[in-house]
Structure 1
Amino acid sequence: MRIPIYQIDAFTNELFRGNPAAVCPLEQWIDDTIMQKIARENNLSETAFFIKKGDLYELRWFTPEFEIDLCGHATLAAAYVIFEYLEKDLNNISFDTKSGVLKVVKKNTLLSMIFPSREGKKCDITKEFVEALGKKPFELYKSRDYMAVFEKEEDIRNINPSMEKLKEINAFGIIVTAKGSDVDFVSRYFIPDSTIGEDPVTGSAHCTLIPYWRKILNKDKFVAYQLSNRSGILYCRDLNDKVEISGEAVLYLKGYINV
């Protein structure tokens, strides 16, 4: 079996920045164990697989360890592949996913995704959490992920959490965020149970970040910056029960997998 593969750097217009995702278009679904092995072999934070079904594309995302319910940068990467290589006349796509139907609209070089809003609930800051992060946040929230809020951008740049201690916290991922110096807000995102540890640019984390910063900054449009080593820019909008997350993407490679 020969499967096309594209590797896309998402939330950037420069190679070697943003968040790399593999994208594998399929004619029909293959066995889950094969998709998981491909994702493990790719060794990127996510590999996206999709098939066309009527007017929709069915889309799934796999980390090297397991399938996940929502991924921003791999959705952006999948949409980029469809717009640029498979259906060049399209300017909008609907993906059927584990998180419902997700829409992506192409506006020149910018791809805008409509995702569910995942507002966090405020929770207590435990001693274990402070020890894991190495610094005490002034607020802590929980949705799918924990979100720890700090006072300034420099806190986010300098934070150096213990991955071993973060593994003891019951959450898929941990967001750290603060008001930005040159943008509206900054963040970083840690996945302690993943081989990558820190995700370079995380679209799904902004499902929780956007509703929080709307309340704090009293506005509904934002420029966000994820402060990983690769870094990435996200253009965000709060739509009440949904959020809009926009970014650019660039092709790194395309080829075939022989399975």
Structure 2
Amino acid sequence: MPRSVQDFPLDHLATAAGAAPKYCLSFTAASLRPELATVIAGIYLEQGDWGCTKALVLERNALQARSASSAKRLESELRQRLQRLTTSQLELLAKGTSDERTAMAWLAVLKRIQIAADVTQEVLTGKLSSLDPVLRRSDMAAFYEATERDHPELGALAPSSQQKVRSALLQMLREAGLLVGKAGKGGTLGTVQRPLVSPQVQELLEDDDPALLEGFLLSPAARPAKAGKTKAPAKASAKPAPKPATKPAAKTAVKAAPKPAAKKASAAKRKTA
């Protein structure tokens, strides 16, 4: 059975005070690759063992790599991501729609690659909340500059390796549907948007850990299901409104009040007459 999210603390979603864990920077061996992640998930669900899965993937060249060495790197990186998913998440990855497979592949990235989750939470979420969805090179440069203070391993990379990390991150954000549009003039990289999340994907995220919704630029407080529930009490409270019944009573009281006065006036006239 694959280990669940509880076995891997989500430090990237709620970083505690103190020394930050080192970034995993080997992810450049593979981008999001949901179609290849689907293949590995399918083999694992048949075998039920990650060791056997690894052997079969390499033996069959299931990832269609050009060389044995690239096959090993690709299989290792994707497998280590998928080992973070629960059984239900792996099943959706293997049998879901194209969008659901992409969502599960991105979820696997969020659980393994902390820098990807940090970019999503600290940069992309901020762009949407500030109503400025255009992602610029200056936004990413500021993120990397601030991040290197807690993660010197990032700054210790050679310039070429740093560029690979940055390019791979942007590519995964595009593949996951969080960033659309090509890089343009003026230092723009694209437009930030919330990806499509099916009800089944959302349910799996909530059952696992509601904080995972942040990796999809969603908030637990803004879930459609809860928004629908808040409308029901308003309708129910509007039903008991017996106000119209009191209005006729007030009118009759006003009409009835002049009658005694009219009788007294007529009686007075008769006496004077």
* TM-score under structure 1 length normalisation: 0.28
Higher strand share: 1
Higher helix share: 2
Q: Taking CA–CA contacts closer than 8 Å with sequence separation of 6 or more, which of the two structures ends up with the larger relative contact order?
A: 1
Structure number with greater Rg is: 2
